[in-house]
Homo-oligomer: A and B are copies of this chain.
Amino acid sequence: MQARVLARLRDDGPLSKVQLADRLAVSRTTIAVEVARLGELGLAQDAGPAASRGGRRSTMVDLAADIRFLGVAIGATGLSVGVTDGRLGLLAVRERPCDIRQGPEAVLAIALEVAREVLAEAGVDKPLGAGIAVPGPVDFHRGVPVSPPIMPGWDGYPVRDALSRELGCPVVLDNDVNALAVGEQHAGVARSVNDFLFVKIGTGIGCGIVIDGELYRGVDGCAGDIGHIRVEDGGPQCACGNTGCLEAYAGGAALAREANALARSGRSTALADLLEQRGEALTAADVATAVSQGDPESLRLMRESGRRVGQVLASLVSFFNPGLIVIGGRVTGLGHALLAEIRAVTYRNSLPLATGSLPIVVSELGDEGGVIGAARLISDSVYAVDERL
């Protein structure tokens, strides 16, 4: 009951007791008792009389105004930390470049430093809880990364418990795509959608799965690991150790690798020029620059990447019949060509029944989605615990 009341107030905003009773299909007496209890715990508060609908006036209820959560989104090359209120509105947020390959001690020290800065900025002494997202597979129940391909040194490191000790509050650890998915569900384009996929195309590729409004994690917690679907036997080496993975063809790292090869071989003069100007290895963003300059090889590369992603998405559409696909991650900043190809190939290779009303859209939130999502994951956990911690 507590979790359901608090989730409604979080997701729907302030509600009268009558509205709460209606939405949760329980009696008004039950709601009155529960709201009083939540008030004593410091989780909810009266918010004045409701607008009259005739008859006796109901009282508005809101989340306690002083609830604060911390959301930490760690990526391959940078991290974002934000402070939210109980409804997951961002009060302060900061980013910091940071290489995940420095290992957990160094990266978590930076995360904590940024966390203390944003907490101070928002005037928060201690948050009610913190959510943290990392770019790799996670054992959600143990709060540790599990064999994360692009996170050397993190395997089995007690991220959740280490942060919980430092911050003095409960912490949940999840992977970045799950956080992005629930962030988008809370505050982005997937709001009010109950069954959707969030596909992140960054350095790597992954997928968050929301079924009936809830994250689906799979039996071992590794559902959505679509970056390592093998799209071709043989094929290029992947960071995971296998060959021919989607990520090895279509992720940001793969685009960058191909771009450098095209530049060095001279097959693309546009990329060769960019390489000379930069004086260091090209990135996926350089491919987008070359596309905007009309470089045919870069356009071919981008389209080929989109085609591979689209082929995998088409099979997921046939299997899963989602209501919406949200594309997010750094690669979405690369312009129209990639997304157009993903859409075209996905629609062309799926059954008409499954794609008749299937929007494929770009994330509205960008990096902030991970911070909001991480905050939402800890709010789910904190709101479900029957005592204020």
Contacts and interface: CB of A to CB of B under 8 A. Distances in A.
B224 A319 contact: yes
- Interface size band for A: 35 or more
A33 to B, nearest CB: 18
A174 to B, nearest CB: 15
B319 A220 contact: no
B349 A225 contact: no
Given A321-B218, A321-B223, A351 B240 contact: yes
A314 B222 contact: no
Contacts of A349: 230, 242
Given A195-B219, A211-B216, A225 B354 contact: yes
Interface string A6-33: 0000000000000000000000000000
A105 to B, nearest CB: 24
A223 B312 contact: no
A224 B179 CA distance: 26
Contacts of A311: 230
A148 to B, nearest CB: 11
Given A146-B353, A216-B211, A356-B220, A229 B321 contact: no
Contacts of A321: 217-225
Contacts of A211: 211, 216
Contact of A225 (B322, B351, B356): B351
A147 interface: yes
Contacts of A52: none
A320 interface: yes
Contact of A316 (B319, B322, B351): B319
A353 B195 contact: no
Nearest to A217: B321
Interface string A312-331: 10111011111100000000
Nearest to A314: B230
A147 B352 CA distance: 10
A207 interface: yes
Interface-centre pick from A209, A216, A319 (highest chain B CB count, 10 A): A319
B137 A353 contact: yes
**10 tightest A-B CB contacts, nearest first:** A218-B321, A223-B321, A219-B323, A229-B315, A230-B349, A222-B353, A229-B318, A225-B318, A222-B321, A222-B354
5 contacts: A147-B353, A220-B356, A225-B319, A226-B315, A229-B319
Interface of A: 137, 146-147, 195, 207, 209, 211, 216-226, 228-230, 240, 242, 311-312, 314-316, 318-323, 349, 351-354, 356-358
